[in-house]
Amino acid sequence: MSDLREREARAFFPTYRRLPLEVERAEGVYLYTGDGKRYLDMFGGLAVNALGYGHPAVLKAIDRQMHRYIHLSNFFVQDVQVEIAERLVAASGLDRCFLCNSGTEGMEAALKLARRWGKTTGKSSLVGLTGAFHGRTLGALSVTGREKYREGFEPLLPGTSILGFNDVAALRDGVNDRTLAVVVECLQGEGGVHPVSGPFVAALQELRDRHGFLLIADETQTGIGRTGKMFGYQHFGFMPDIVVAAKAMGGGLPLGAMLGSEKLARAFPPGSHGSTFGGNPVACAAGLAVLGEILDHGVMENAASVGGYLKEQLQKVADEHPRKIREVRGLGLMLGVELTVGGEAVVAGMLERGVVVNLTNLNVLRWLPPLVISRRHADEAVEAFRGALGSNS
């Protein structure tokens, strides 16, 4: 074990299983270790590093804002905050924005907004879905449908139920006039890159119309262009009442947002919610640069087209190895390859071949590269995958 890894093991609560890689610097879509090795990044900071590393637009925006001011306080109106809120509102089709620092904080804001709105309507129960992940704070955890994350932290929020993802009958049975909100990830990330089904979306909309609950879309991972559209729900033809975004938003700096419809605005009067660092101006400046590249300079279109190409190439590998690969799925540059063999050995084999990729749910390789990768990068990664799979018996 290296000296750094030993010190890390002594100094930290052991919450993270770290990769066997000590990155010295990163540039473009590559990570470089101290011993001079180069790794193609299909991990992408788990969907944070949408523009890769050292993108000039992000560096320039951070540098400029840093020299204006790094922090004021949310007692001050700040131009970069207003600009990013306007862009997010316009791109989402919603009306109002609250800025925070992370996905879980965005989910807490969403649940708190729903709660306060529900006070006037007599609605209070929350619904999460199996396989979903919404963050580590106790509210977000209460609607997270995976035992692995909830275990040991109960009791969680009362009045919360977890229904089967894509199970229309369970949804019909599980919601009623007391249901306050249903939280959905259109493409479940941590859960193994599973898309929501058409019939489930149709039932969600029909039941929302009937019972008047709120639909909360967690776009923490799927948002900001990753799937080839700005938000995942834009693939599935429905309009949420609340949207949570984070990860890629701040260009690597902590930034999240909770967006909501006008009817909810009165539920969050002055003093009802807040965050010291939420919407930090340097993070907002970086975020404006990210949104500029994604929405105005073709990066979202690149995610759609290179994502489609990468999926095709992965499908070819799946066709070559029908006994080792169960399915290739996903949208844009959020792809999952479900294996029938142990995922850890494949990840290690890819690392040996100079490519970093994430493993989720034990056997799903999750591909979340920067949205600026080219077809050449996709080919390089697929070759490493093919090699790792071929040597794995």
Selection from 331, 182, 156 nearest residue 242 by Cα:
182
- Packed helices 299-320 and 375-390: angle between N→C axes, nearest 10 degrees: 20
Note whether 134 binds ligand PLP by CB under 6 A.
yes
Count of residues near ligand PLP by CB under 6 A: 14
Distance CA 308, CA 157 (A): 40
Q: For residue 307, give both structure tokens.
A: 């994502």
Candidate ranges 198-206, 214-222, 286-294, 351-359; the one touching ligand PLP (CB under 6 A): 214-222
The mark string for 168-197 relative to ligand PLP (x by CB under 6 A, - otherwise) is -----------------x---xx-------
Q: Does 380 bind ligand PLP (CB under 6 A)?
A: no
Q: Answer yes or no: are the C-beta atoms of 367 and 337 closer than 8 Å.
A: yes
Rounded to a whole number of angstroms, the minimum distance from the CB of residue 336 to ligand PLP is 13
Q: At what angle do helices 281-291 and 79-92 cross, to 10 degrees?
A: 40
| Shortest distance in whole angstroms from residue 265 CB to ligand PLP | 24
Burial code of 226-257, b = ≥16 C-beta within 10 A, e = fewer? bbbbbbbbbbbebebbbbbbbbbbbbbbbbbb
Task: Give the residue with the Cβ less far from ligand PLP, 171 or 187.
Answer: 187
User: Residue 300: helix, strand or coil by DSSP?
Assistant: helix
- Which of 74-82, 87-95, 152-160, 216-224 is the region at the interface with ligand PLP (rule: CB under 6 A)? 216-224
Q: Stretches 79-87, 99-107, 150-158, 229-237: which one binds ligand PLP (CB under 6 A)?
A: 99-107
Question: Which one among 128, 135, 336, 370 touches ligand PLP, defined by CB under 6 A?
Answer: 135
Taken in order 221, 222, 225, 227, the sign of the CA dihedral is positive
Angle, in degrees to the nearest 10, between helices 56-68 and 281-291: 150
**Of 10-18, 97-105, 323-331, 375-383, which part binds ligand PLP (CB under 6 A)?**
97-105
The length of the chain is 393
The residue among 94 and 140 lying less far from ligand PLP, judged by its C-beta, is 140
Pick the closer one to ligand PLP by CB: 103 or 343: 103
Q: Does 226 bind ligand PLP (CB under 6 A)?
A: no
Residues found near ligand PLP in the complex (CB under 6 A):
102-104, 107, 133-135, 185, 189-190, 218, 220-221, 246
